[in-house]
Amino acid sequence: MANRGGGQPGYKRVDPENEDHLGPCMRALTLLQRKFVIALLESPDGNFTEAARVAGYSAENYGSLRVLGHTAANHPKVLLAIEEHARKFIKASTLTSIRHLALVAQDPTHKDQVKAIGMLLNRGGLPEISHQTVDVTVTNKSLDERLAIRMKQLEALGVDLKPLMLEAPKNQPIDTSPGHEEQIEDAEFVAIEPKDEEW
């Protein structure tokens, strides 16, 4: 069969009716959907409407064909088949791509020679090693320190903080049960002598 696919080297046209050469995603499609995927991947510009026409979708007018093409291209199974087929094409083109990259790497007059050499080394298992140093400064200020800084900033802007201040209730019992220790900020301890009968 003729090589369509916009002159893409290494492209071998796929027969949508021969399931032996199709991947699982392509086999899951209807024959019309398979033809659409192949037409889409063979088209030079990936035009959904043209792919729908080539695949054999029928419509009364161009607008309807556009809708059919768009709908077909966005069908979940078709999207999976497009990805599957594109991966096959990329794998089949790998050797050709490497050859072209090697030609660039061997040409001392090519502007991208050094880049091509680096790409070949990277893909050949000898990647460039780079070291990065990251300096991180962590400030661990307590809530009180952060509030004091913020209050100074607000006062510098002329904000009167007195209406915002609340007086702490006096003689309020403090919950000292596990998990509530953070409520205790400052405390004084007084030793209490037990009474003789408590011994």
Residue with tokens 């046209």: 13
What whole-number distance in Å separates Cα of residue 174 and Cα of residue 49? 74
What whole-number distance in Å separates Cα of residue 106 and Cα of residue 146? 61
The per-residue pLDDT for range 103-145, each reduced to its tens digit, is 999 999 999 999 998 888 888 888 778 778 887 776 667 777 8
Q: Residue 71: count other Cβ atoms within 10 Å of its Cβ.
A: 13
21 by DSSP, 3-state: which? helix
pTM for this entry:
0.48
69 by DSSP, 3-state: which? helix
As given in the structure block, the two tokens for residue 45 are 């510009």
- Cα 89 versus chain centre, distance: 24
The per-residue pLDDT for range 83-113, each reduced to its tens digit, is 998 888 888 888 888 888 899 999 999 999 9
